[in-house]
Structure 1
Amino acid sequence: MNTIPADLKYAESHEWLRLEADGSVTVGISHHAQELLGDLVFVELPKAGQALAAGEQAGVVESVKAASDVYSPIAGEVIAVNAALESAPELANSDSYGEGWFFRLKPSNPAEIGGLLDASQYAAEIGA
């Protein structure tokens, strides 16, 4: 699954964002990012209720090869985290755009979403 879903927005730091029907956004790391990292062995997630600024570190992923920060693509309040990743971080490898999501935000300024990359811009960014 090396496709870049067209319905998502992307940050240059390789996080994806999906706008949900209730106005919240779901955030994860791209397939490209998890591929570069390799097999994930640990994920640190933000806390529910935590306020994040756009570009602020929201968590950490560790793989057999490296550790990398995960950033919030937009500002908002964390309203949910994917607790399944804590015991099964490999979900971000096997289903990066589905069950491997990291956290959900209530956006502070939904207009920030428009400043993120679309699928074709992200593909160009990563040379896909």
Structure 2
Amino acid sequence: MGDNSPNRDIVFIRDLEVEAVIGVFDWERRVKQRLVFDVEMATNIVKAAKTDNLEYAINYRAVADELIEFVSHSEFQLIESLVEHLSMKLNEKFGLSWVRLTVHKPGAVKEARDVGVVIERTFSSPMDDQGRLF
């Protein structure tokens, strides 16, 4: 769950691997490629910490499952499009106030160890999964 309070704690997921159809070349449209995601989400952990209750926390298992489901069934050409749509999907589902998403496309440039895109998005009206504003 997102939060508008001044505390900005970060819940993160690192190195989440997902296979997806991604790319502009014909051969890329016929095979799934490995993408690696890092996700950082702003929240206020105070209530979750005080109550020791998952209801007041961002459930990173649920976030990972949503990301895997979305990405594995997507067929974007550009990782820029994929990551932008993913940020909107995660906000819609989890009511985030802020997210930083990194997508790595290893092997896209053979001379480079890694390439990818990083985006940060701030959402003005975080909503819970019932569409209620915080």
Both structures adopt the same fold (TM-score exceeding 0.5)? no
Between structures 1 and 2, the one with greater strand share: 1
TM-score w.r.t. the length of structure 1 is: 0.28
TM-score w.r.t. the length of structure 2 is: 0.27
Between structures 1 and 2, the one with greater helix share: 2
- Larger radius of gyration, structure 1 or 2? 2
